[in-house]
A and B are shown apart, each in its own frame.
Chain A
Amino acid sequence: MSDWITTMRNSSFGPFQRKTIRYMHEIEQQIEGSNAEPDIKNATREDENNLLEDNSQLSEKQSDKEPDKMPEDQDDTMIAADSIWRELLQSIYKDKKAFVGAILVIAFVIIALGAPIFAPYDPYEVDMAEMLVPPSFVDGAAEMSDNSYIIGTDFLGRDIMSRIIYGARISLAIGLIPPLITLAIGTLLGMTAGYYGGKTDYLIMRLADICMSFPSLLLAMVVMYTLGASLFNIFIALSIVNWGGTSRIIRAQTLSLKQKEFVEAARSMGVSKWKILWRHIFPNCIPSLIVLFTLSVPEAIMSEAGLSFLGVGAQPPMPSWGLMISRGKEYLFSSPWVAITPGIAIFIVVIAFNFIGDGLRDALDPYTKHD
């Protein structure tokens, strides 16, 4: 399930609890002199309608205590883009899990881009004489074939390793493009809804409710039925299915940012609505968007694999990991490597992104808090 839905639902009673936490940490700071900075940061980004007063007091207190370190997202000015990236890289570097995840993701990207270099064989080459050869480390593999296949061949004699390596390209594209489109749609609609309010807001949010009421896999399946099963259509299906969650979060942030002095100042100076949205509101949504992105990448990869597994996604002979598992499952009991190994690839990539997502969420996302 999507983590941000959870996050959002939680945030509906967040202000109350977070106020308490912030208070607790203030006390803690006074008592123990401990650095409770991340949590204060979390709390200050809350619903400004309720907390505006407290916030101003808090930031005064904060700046008293830490004059040299001003956490950027509670500052009443625009966040400088490079500071976001710096914070992002720092939090990845500091968090052991996120660091491992980042290395795995880099390896994944390199493998995907350099597939022709890394793949030992042609991923599409069918060779019935080399059918279902076991992985080379298994006893008996050498007797079945003169060639050595690291993780064996499939039911058409294609080298599975090469197919997995080429499949990384599909997963990379699926992991990048639909989440970016989803975020773009969600951000645009969320900001519009939050800023314009009224009927626009009502209309967009009801549409989001409708989209979020569908179990996303079922909705994607229906879209695939309408468009026809192909890899390209998965891009479309996954792009239009999941924007609801993003738009809700961005709307909530826009609503709170709208009340801030710097937006009010811009408005009173006659800056146009779209410019305010783009120059003042959007930059402040970036931290959340980064977290949402890292969380939606693994989800998109899993969805593609699931759709392809069900036969409504990528079509043979594409080396999509989900499709490979689906086609290999008929040989699960005689040649388990055919179906099991692509799953390991999915698992590693997904866990790598989850590692990063977890680390970043702890560091950047104003809406969740981990200890």
Chain B
Amino acid sequence: MRYILKRLLTTIPIIIGVSFLLYVMLNIVPGDPVALMMGEHINPDTIERVRARMNLDDPLMIRFVKYLLDALHGDFGYSYKLKREVSTLIWQAFPNTLILAVSGALVSWIIGIPAGIISAVKKNTWIDYAVMTFALIGVSMPVFWAGLLGQYFFGLKLQWLPISGFDGLNIKYIIMPAVVLGWSAAATIARLTRSSLLEVMSSDYIRTAREKGLLRHQVVVGHALKNAFLPVITVMTIQVASLLSGAVITETIFGIPGIGRIAVSAIQTRDMPLLQGSVMFATVLIILGNLLADILYGFIDPRIKYH
């Protein structure tokens, strides 16, 4: 319990720091946001009035605190360009990003973990080399390029899957983005599972188990995997962040109306509140996700709690 409390207490300043950094960066952009919002032909009096109403003349620090308090109530301000509540737009987009990220994560686990185990068990055979080569290829392929290749071959040439678009939980539309997104994560997981398993396999208790007369696969399944998974779990949780980053690009390629796409279009239209809201939402989500993972991790591996 103390561990959970401690982690919570370290997370709160980080969230505040992250929001502050974001807020400062986005609010020191040259140019008057009101003029940007209302177009070119507008009289200065109106600008003054709107500025006053939006509290734009307050010091940065005060505006930030106000913004943060509003954000805690789920109010991220008002989009300049789309003329709607930022929070509404985010809540509409969030489920799509979540579906994409979760399916991407599933793909990476389903491919990565078994591949890593096979590779470790068959160490230095051609299977190992093949898996590791694939993993290296996976890490080295830019997500957006892999996406285009997928669209070209599986969408256009083979016509197995729709080229782009999104339809809720319709699996046909999810497969390709999920594989594209999860592929490089799968590669990382495979490599880590392999090295972690090999590391564990050379430890005392494994030797003991083997000398007790247990078969190799019994030792792998019964003894080694449990410990070998610890670092893998850590990475899997960190990868939630990279999946979300990757989701920005994947959503853009496949036309999925998610948070990443909102952020990209907000940059293109210079819609500051929308960009601020979406990035802040995504970042805080990741931080909370990591916190949750850390807490879970403390339960899986009690040693962590005492560090």
Using a CB–CB cutoff of 8 Å, the interface residues on chain A facing chain B are 1, 3, 5-6, 9-10, 12-13, 16-17, 20-21, 23-24, 206-207, 209-210, 213-218, 221-226, 298, 302, 305-306, 309-312, 322, 325-326, 329, 332-333, 336, 339-340, 343, 346-347, 350-351, 354-355, 358, 368-371
Which A residues are in CB contact (< 8 Å) with B140? 298, 347, 350-351, 354
Cβ contact within 8 Å between A222 and B275: yes
Contact partner of A305 (CB less than 8 A), chosen from B139, B142, B279, is B142
Cβ contact within 8 Å between A340 and B234: no
Q: Name 26 interchain pairs, CB-CB below 8 A, sorted by A.
A: A1-B235, A6-B192, A6-B231, A9-B231, A9-B235, A12-B307, A17-B203, A206-B17, A207-B17, A209-B17, A210-B17, A217-B248, A221-B279, A222-B25, A222-B275, A225-B272, A322-B142, A326-B144, A332-B148, A332-B151, A333-B156, A343-B148, A343-B149, A347-B145, A350-B142, A369-B199
Contact partner of B152 (CB less than 8 A), chosen from A16, A333, A355, is A333
Cβ contact within 8 Å between A21 and B145: no
B26 interfacial contact with A, CB 8 Å: yes
Cβ contact within 8 Å between B241 and A221: no
Cβ contact within 8 Å between A226 and B29: yes
A216 to B246, CA, bound (A): 10
Which A residues are in CB contact (< 8 Å) with B231? 6, 9-10
A214 to B290, CA, bound (A): 12
Q: From residue B130, how far is it (CB to closest CB) to chain A in Å? A: 14
B198 interfacial contact with A, CB 8 Å: yes
Q: Which of B53-61, B76-84, B166-174, B281-289 contacts A (4 or more CB under 8 A)?
A: B281-289
> Chain A: interface secondary structure?
helix
Contact partner of B245 (CB less than 8 A), chosen from A20, A215, A309, A311, is A215
Instruction: Answer whether A355 and B26 are a contact pair too, CB < 8 Å, given A13-B303, A213-B286, A225-B275.
Output: no
Q: From residue A294, how far is it (CB to closest CB) to chain B in Å? A: 13
Which A residues are in CB contact (< 8 Å) with B244? 215, 218
Q: From residue B271, how far is it (CB to closest CB) to chain A in Å? A: 10
Cβ contact within 8 Å between A210 and B148: no
Cβ contact within 8 Å between B203 and A325: no
A10 to B136, CA, bound (A): 20
Closest residue of A by beta carbon distance from B260: A218
Not counting A221-B279, A306-B144, A309-B144, a sample of 11 additional A-B residue pairs whose C-beta atoms are within 8 angstroms of each other reads: A6-B238, A9-B238, A21-B199, A21-B202, A214-B283, A226-B25, A302-B142, A332-B156, A340-B152, A343-B148, A351-B136
Give chain B interface residues in 12-56, CB to chain A under 8 Å. Answer: 13-14, 17-18, 21-22, 25-26, 28-29
Cβ contact within 8 Å between B136 and A354: yes
Which B residues are in CB contact (< 8 Å) with A226? 25-26, 28-29
Cβ proximity bits B254-296 to A, threshold 8 Å, 1 near / 0 not: 0000000001100110101001000100110011001000000
A207 to B141, CA, bound (A): 31
Give chain B interface residues in 69-111, CB to chain A under 8 Å. Answer: none
Most buried by B among A16, A23, A336: A336
Which A residues are in CB contact (< 8 Å) with B22? 222
Cβ contact within 8 Å between A355 and B14: no
A153 to B202, CA, bound (A): 55
Most buried by A among B26, B141, B144, B290: B144
Cβ contact within 8 Å between B136 and A358: yes
Cβ contact within 8 Å between A368 and B144: no
Which B residues are in CB contact (< 8 Å) with A336? 152
Which A residues are in CB contact (< 8 Å) with B241? 1, 215
Cβ contact within 8 Å between A213 and B18: yes
A20 to B205, CA, bound (A): 10
Contact partner of A16 (CB less than 8 A), chosen from B29, B137, B156, B303, is B303
Which A residues are in CB contact (< 8 Å) with B204? 20, 23-24
Cβ contact within 8 Å between A13 and B203: no
Contact partner of B142 (CB less than 8 A), chosen from A223, A311, A346, is A346
Q: From residue B202, how far is it (CB to closest CB) to chain A in Å? A: 5
Contact partner of A217 (CB less than 8 A), chosen from B200, B245, B268, is B245
Q: From residue A57, how far is it (CB to closest CB) to chain B in Å? A: 19
Cβ contact within 8 Å between A347 and B198: no
Cβ contact within 8 Å between A368 and B195: yes
A217 to B282, CA, bound (A): 12
Q: From residue A221, how far is it (CB to closest CB) to chain B in Å? A: 6
B230 interfacial contact with A, CB 8 Å: yes
A305 to B148, CA, bound (A): 14
Cβ contact within 8 Å between B279 and A223: no
Cβ contact within 8 Å between B199 and A309: no
Contact partner of B148 (CB less than 8 A), chosen from A207, A216, A298, A340, is A340
B179 interfacial contact with A, CB 8 Å: no
Cβ contact within 8 Å between B123 and A371: yes
Closest 9 CB pairs between A and B? A343-B145, A1-B242, A351-B140, A215-B245, A217-B245, A210-B17, A350-B140, A371-B198, A20-B203
